[in-house]
Amino acid sequence: MSELRLFDNEYNCIIAGVDEAGRGPLAGPVVAAAVIIEDYFEELEEINDSKKLTEKKREKLYAVIREKRKVGIGTADEKEIDKINILNATFLAMRRALEQIDNYDIVLVDGNHKIREYSGRQEEIIKGDGRSLSIAAASIVAKVYRDNIMKDFARQYPDYRFEKHKGYGTKLHRELLHAHGACKIHRKTFLRKILGE
């Protein structure tokens, strides 16, 4: 049994693990996932913090988790991020993800913040994606789901090469921003220093 499973089993109740992807990028939505894992499945031992997995491994586990587990996915787009700030938009995406699942006793949230405006029982777990199986599964779902969104945007806005950097502020992305300016899915509040706006 993995250390991640042992951590979750200490709660002795049904856990919904919640994590997000996309707080830092300059473009695209922030995505949150909520996952409930109640039973054993073959690939369970492979689940880990999404950042420690290859893209191929994440995509494999994403498919298994979405097929066999209870999963909720919530997003907040660039307009919502600009309007209410990234932290509040992240909480909004988490609440939207939790609205899609039910029959759980506690929410374990990755990070050092509890979900604002959520009234259920919850606990924040620092570095939870490396400690909790349910949070790690949520991190995989959120990451792959968001990457797929950014690949779709890459086809709509080919000048920005979103398939390469997924909206993060890489050297390539910054160079393309200076060359083309912002597009519809850029977070305008994130670009003030970069574009001098």
pLDDT, one tens digit for every residue, the chain (197 residues): 467 887 898 999 999 999 999 999 999 999 999 999 988 777 888 898 888 999 999 999 999 999 877 999 999 999 999 999 999 999 999 999 999 999 999 999 999 999 999 999 999 999 999 999 999 999 999 999 999 999 999 999 999 999 999 999 999 999 999 999 999 999 999 998 788 75
Question: Is residue 83 included in any domain, yes or no?
Answer: yes
* Assigned domain for 119 exists: yes
pTM across the whole model? 0.94
- Residue 197 covered by a domain: no
Q: Does 20 count as an annotated binding residue?
A: yes
Q: Is residue 114 part of a domain?
A: yes
Burial state string for 8-39 with b = 16 or more CB within 10 A and e = fewer than 16:
beeeeeebbbbbbbbeebbbbbbbbbbbbbee
Gap between the Cα atoms of 169 and 162, Å rounded: 11
42 known member of a binding site:
no
pLDDT confidence of residue 197: 53
Does residue 19 have a known ligand-binding role?
yes
| Residue range of the domain that includes 45 | 3-192
DSSP-derived letter for residue 126 is T
